[in-house]
A = this chain, B = another copy of it.
Amino acid sequence: MDDFIIKYISAYIELTPEEEDIIRNQNLIKPFLKDTVLLAEGEHARECYFVLKGCVRRYHIINGEERTTDFYTENQSIIPVSYTTKKPSEYFLSCVEDTVIALGSNERNEELIKQIPKLETMLVQMASEMQAQNQVEMDNFKNLSPEERYRNLTDTRPDLLNRVPLNYIATYLGITPESLSRIRKRISRNR
């Protein structure tokens, strides 16, 4: 399981065998059961996450209703806004399935960087890439209609539709479950 992380990091920087060991020793890997809440609204996030297996859902509660804002699956990192800003979280993180996660914390990350300084170079790259990807996602969301967003999702993340209930997908697409039903019907009618 650890080797997923080594592999992931190695795509950014080269690691010596000793460095690989340091990472293997440092890293905390934990399994969580379905529906475990990793972070609740109002809490301070002291950890960030790397999904090794399973699926985590990010959602807000607005007027008592859950609004899904993201899904994280294998090989995605989750850096809660609260982790960065050190303010209370505006949203929840919860496991949609049984999920295995590598945990990071500020203290342990700093410790690691002291031992392997080039990790910082990787962090800059990772953060930049996430930033770029966020922007692309935002642009797509803004420039596409609900129906186009649904089609886009079935193209880019077809797995999600099989592992996540449609009502979560609906709010993730910024629409109601009823609207999603209509869209799906519309699409199947016109093949």
- Which A residues are within 8 Å of any B CB, using their own CB? 60, 62, 67, 69, 79, 81, 84-85, 90-91, 120-121, 123-124, 127-132, 134-139, 141-143, 174
Q: A174 touching B121 by the CB < 8 A rule?
A: no
Q: How far is the CB of A61 from chain B (nearest CB, A)?
A: 10
Q: What are the residues of chain B within 8 A of A143 when measuring CB–CB?
A: 60, 62, 67, 69
Across the interface, do B132 and A135 meet the contact criterion of CB distance under 8 Å? no
Contacting pair B124 A90 (CB below 8 A) = no
Contacting A138 at CB < 8 Å: which of B67, B120, B137?
B137
A127 to B62, CA, bound (A): 28
The distance in angstroms between the C-alpha atoms of A129 and B131, with both chains bound, is 9
In terms of DSSP, what is the predominant structure of the interface of chain A?
helix
A79-B131 CB under 8 A given contacts A139-B69, A174-B142: yes
Residues of chain B lying within 8 A (CB to CB) of residue A67: 142-143
Known A127-B127, A138-B141, A141-B141; further 20 A-B contacts with Cβ < 8 A = A67-B143, A69-B139, A79-B132, A81-B135, A84-B128, A84-B132, A85-B132, A90-B136, A90-B139, A120-B121, A124-B124, A124-B127, A127-B128, A127-B131, A130-B131, A131-B131, A134-B135, A134-B138, A137-B138, A142-B174
Chain B proximity of A140: nearest CB distance (Å):
10
